[in-house]
Amino acid sequence: MSAAEHRGRFAYPELDRVLHERARLGILSCLIAGDEAVTFADLKGLCDLTDGNLSRHLKALEEAGIVALERDDKAGRPTTWISFTRSGRKRFLDYVEVLESIVRNSTTAKASRRATAPLPLGDDGVGSVPA
């Protein structure tokens, strides 16, 4: 096996940049763990974000069609509820699958370090990768 045969194996184009940002990953992890919708105030606390930061990230996620925001004032004052859209939930779970493969790859390497030779690099070495 040569590196050329495995071109792009570690490129992870599926690692969705919109979701990969740390604060957004926190927001979405919180939503996936929870009930249908979470209030802005709870999300802010659970993710330890400022109003401004949370608003900014929610705007980006809403524009990308990943979350939906809904306002009501049932509690006597305006409350914003945040939930996954159907496609957003699917998109996040697809993203998590990529994370899972990275974790599996890394923990396997840790466990079997030097017991086998897991890296797909041949002995053609330097310059084996096509430009």
For the bound state, the minimum distance from the C-beta of residue 47 to a second copy, rounded and expressed in Å, comes to: 5
For the bound state, the minimum distance from the C-beta of residue 120 to a second copy, rounded and expressed in Å, comes to: 8
User: Should residue 18 be labelled a site residue for a second copy when binding is judged by CB under 8 A?
Assistant: no
Cα dihedral: 119, 16, 27, 91 (round 10) = -110
Q: Which of 38, 54, 61, 67 is in the footprint of a second copy by CB under 8 A?
A: 38
| Sheet bearing 37-39, strands edge to edge | 37-39, 79-84, 67-72
For the bound state, the minimum distance from the C-beta of residue 60 to a second copy, rounded and expressed in Å, comes to: 16
User: Should residue 41 be labelled a site residue for a second copy when binding is judged by CB under 8 A?
Assistant: yes
Among all chains, which residue has been given the structure tokens 């050329």?
Answer: 4
Which residues ranging from 49 to 88 are in contact with a second copy (CB under 8 A)? 49, 75, 77, 79
User: Should residue 102 be labelled a site residue for a second copy when binding is judged by CB under 8 A?
Assistant: yes
Q: Which amino acid is present at 56?
A: R
The encoded tokens of residue 23 equal: 């604060």
Count of residues that interact with a second copy, criterion CB under 8 A: 59
Q: Which of 1, 18, 20, 86 is in the footprint of a second copy by CB under 8 A?
A: 20
As a whole number of angstroms, the distance between CA 59 and CA 68 comes to 10
For residues 55 and 41, is the Cβ–Cβ distance under 8 A?
no
